[in-house]
Amino acid sequence: MADLLIAPTPDDPRLTAEIAGIDHTGAAVATRVPVERPLTLYLNGQEIVTMMTIGDRPDCLAVGYLINQNMLGPDEPIERIDVDEELDVVVVRTARRTNYETKLRRKTLTSGCAQGTAFGDLLERFATVQLDPSARLHTSWLYALSRQINTMPSLYLTAGAIHGCVLCQEDRPLVYMEDVGRHNAIDKIAGWMRLNHVSAQGKLFYTTGRLTSEMVIKTVQMGLPILISRSGFTAWGVELAKQAGLTLIGRAKGKRFLCVSGADRLVFDADPAETGPDDINRKGAARDD
């Protein structure tokens, strides 16, 4: 875990709240739950969207959202990012005028949770992205990543009701972001990559959430050739992955996984019978979250 650049922060008191309840025996209990805060995003002087988020890393979320909605080009210079925590506002300022007026006139309803209306045409850049055909995924890496990610201290294990996305290289998690919506978590990764000038070369992507069309499109637009989840798929997500040549792996729990696209990238270098017991996480990852 020494290579992990950004880890979850389950002990951050701003990200969870304690609530009282009664359990199945009738006993009074207290439990922690994730918070939701509105964050209004401006691109220069234009209000773009209000997102519900746990509130951490608003700069990464803002930039990633704009990139993944095609409202900020891959080479668009960013002058600065202003965050006002009291007003729950983030402003991304660019060096030149963007085409957000056009984007705001087009809306695509996605199946994303918490904030499912995506501005712009999600498929605009999809057909033009070329994913690395030489990328490979060793099954030993997959087993190691599942074990590390599912046991790493996180908001998911502390409070539940949260999604995580992890940028990885081989068998090493590099950046782990969480949020109430899986689309927010993937946007944070995209924003972090842009702000830190990190390329998709040699990287793969892990998410705790469903592999929907939105997750596939965003992963492809980020140039990442391999997408893994412990959850399941939607039919359109699978179809889009096949169109893009994306390696799509779901239901990855312990020794088990299902690859439905891009199986030519798999290198079977580990015997599942020798990897130890299944690593089903404590919060019930066997269901499709």
| Both structure tokens of 136 | 């490979």
Residue 29 neighbours by CB under 8 Å, 6+ apart: 20, 21, 22, 23
* Residues of the chain with confidence (pLDDT) below 50: 1, 108-109, 111, 114-117, 119-120, 279-288
What residues form DSSP beta bridges with 51?
39
Phi, psi (deg, nearest 5) at residue 269: -115, 10
Q: What is the pLDDT of residue 268?
A: 97
Domains of the chain with CATH codes? 137-274 (3.40.140.10)
Which contiguous run of DSSP H or E holds residue 190? helix 182-195
The string of pLDDT tens digits covering residues 189-231 is 999 999 999 999 999 999 999 999 999 999 999 999 999 999 9
pLDDT of residue 276: 58
CA-based angle 115:121:122, to the nearest 5? 65
Report pLDDT for 282. Answer: 40
For 178, phi then psi, to 5°, come to -130, 155
Distance CA 267, CA 136 (A): 7
d(CA 248, CA 199): 20
Q: Measured on CA atoms in the order 76, 80, 81, 82, is the torsion positive or negative?
A: negative
Task: Compute the distance between CA of residue 164 and CA of residue 182 in angstroms, rounded to an integer.
Answer: 7
pLDDT score, position 143: 96
What is the spatial distance between Cα 265 and Cα 132, in angstroms, rounded to a whole number?
Answer: 10
For residue 30, give the amino acid letter: A
What's the maximum distance between 2 C-alpha atoms anywhere in the chain?
61
The partner residues of 14 in beta bridges, in order of sequence, read: none
State residue 44's pLDDT score.
93
pLDDT of residue 124: 73
pTM score, two decimals? 0.89
Main-chain dihedrals φ then ψ at residue 144, nearest 5 degrees: -65, -40
**Distance, CA of 39 to CA of 51 (rounded, Å):** 5
